[in-house]
Structures are given as C-alpha cells and as structure tokens.
C-alpha cells in the first residue's frame, strides 16, 4: 500500500489595519494592541497551537516577544505556556544566541530563510507558523511558500506604514476558508491560495 506524503502547512499569521498595514509609519503596532481582543480570542489561538510544532520569527519580532512572553502570567495569557514550550527558529545574521527566559532557547538560523523553510516543510511534523517578522514574511511570500494566511484585522486605519507582502508580489487568487468577528470589531480571516489546492 502506497502512503501519501502529507506536507506540513506553513502559516503566516499577521495583524493588519483595515487599510492593510502591518505596522504604522512609526514602525509600531499600537493599532492592534487596542482594543484588546475579546473573550474567545485566546481559545481560538490555543486551538491553532495544537497543530503547530514550530514557530518562525525574524530578529526584530524575536526581541519584541522576548520582552514579554517568556515570563508572562498564564492566568493573563492562556496561550503563553503553549507558545513558550513550542520550538522556535529565529532568522538572523547578527544574533548568535537566542535565549527564551527559563524555557528552551530558540534556534538561530543565519542561512537563507527561503531554502531553509523549503527543507523544513519537507520534514515530518505538525504545521509551522510565522508571526510578524515582516522581512522574513516578504521573502517567503515572494516564493509562494505559505499555505495559509491568517489575517487578524484591527478596527483601525493607519494611513501609511509597512505592509507584510513585497510590493512586487504578483496577483494571487485566494479562497476564504474561515472567518470570525469578535465583539470588539476585530475580524479573523483565514485565506488559502487557490494554487495550493
């Protein structure tokens, strides 16, 4: 009997303003820090994390996460233990060590993210998720490596800022496979490239 190889999914989870920016003109993400996500958000994230065994981060997002997540109170952030215990890969040509508080350290990768992730997707395992990390995200998106885009839309316009896709990204037809509206006005959207089906 021939066993079909099931390739693990690569997911980009990005928080965007209504006008499509992942960071504002000051390179901050204050627009999605308020309003806070309402009840149900953490439960949804915990459900997602059950199918994730690798987290990808760029150097800047790693530093942001390091300041908050390793010591987070699980009573305030229920997703904390799952996030902290999941193996992480940090793409950086400057960082030599990537500790994670009292948890297992992340793995730093200085080589090209595109080739590394292509090989990673071929290895057995659960799904892989990338949070933020706009430089890495653009590189992977340019090579159509993402199997799903999980977009969390904040109820705010920022006017100008940084986008999470490269400016020269070719047109890509997407299928909406899941959506949810939270009472705060935050909208969660899951898209899958039709070419991946």
In a domain, 185, yes or no: yes
| Structural domain harbouring 50 | 10-196
How far lies 189's CA from each of 65, 74, 100, 132, 156, in Å?
Answer: 23, 26, 30, 16, 16
CATH number of the CATH domain containing 82: 3.40.430.10
In a domain, 63, yes or no: yes
Centre a 10 Å sphere on the Cβ of residue 40 and count the other Cβ atoms it contains: 12
In a domain, 1, yes or no: no
Distance CA 94, CA 109 (A): 10
In a domain, 4, yes or no: no
In a domain, 5, yes or no: no
In 3-state terms the chain splits into helix, strand, coil percentages (rounded to 5) of 25, 25, 45
The two structure tokens encoding residue 172: 């890509």
What local confidence, expressed as pLDDT, does residue 1 receive? 52
In the chain, how many domains are there? 1
In a domain, 109, yes or no: yes
Backbone angles phi, psi at 31, to 5 degrees: -65, -25
pLDDT along the chain (197 residues), means of 10: 70 94 84 66 91 97 95 91 97 96 97 96 96 92 94 92 79 91 92 81
The predicted model scores a pTM of 0.91
């Amino acid at each position: 009997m021939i066993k079909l190889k099931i390739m693990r999914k690569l997911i980009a989870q990005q928080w965007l303003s209504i006008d499509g920016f992942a960071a504002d003109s000051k390179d901050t993400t204050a627009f999605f820090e308020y309003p806070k996500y309402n009840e149900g958000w953490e439960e949804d994230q915990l459900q997602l994390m059950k199918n994730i065994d690798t987290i990808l981060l760029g150097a800047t997002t790693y530093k942001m996460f390091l300041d908050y997540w390793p010591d987070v109170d699980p009573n305030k952030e229920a997703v904390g233990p799952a996030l902290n215990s999941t193996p992480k890969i940090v793409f950086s040509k400057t960082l030599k060590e990537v500790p994670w508080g009292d948890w297992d350290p992340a793995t730093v990768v200085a080589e090209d993210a595109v080739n590394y992730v292509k090989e990673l997707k071929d290895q057995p395992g659960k799904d892989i998720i990338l949070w933020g990390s706009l430089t890495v995200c653009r590189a992977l998106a340019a090579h159509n490596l993402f199997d799903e885009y999980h977009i969390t839309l904040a109820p705010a316009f920022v006017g100008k800022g940084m986008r999470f896709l490269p400016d020269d990204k070719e047109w890509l037809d997407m299928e909406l496979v899941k959506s949810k509206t939270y009472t705060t006005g935050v909208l969660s959207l899951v898209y899958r490239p039709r070419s991946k089906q």
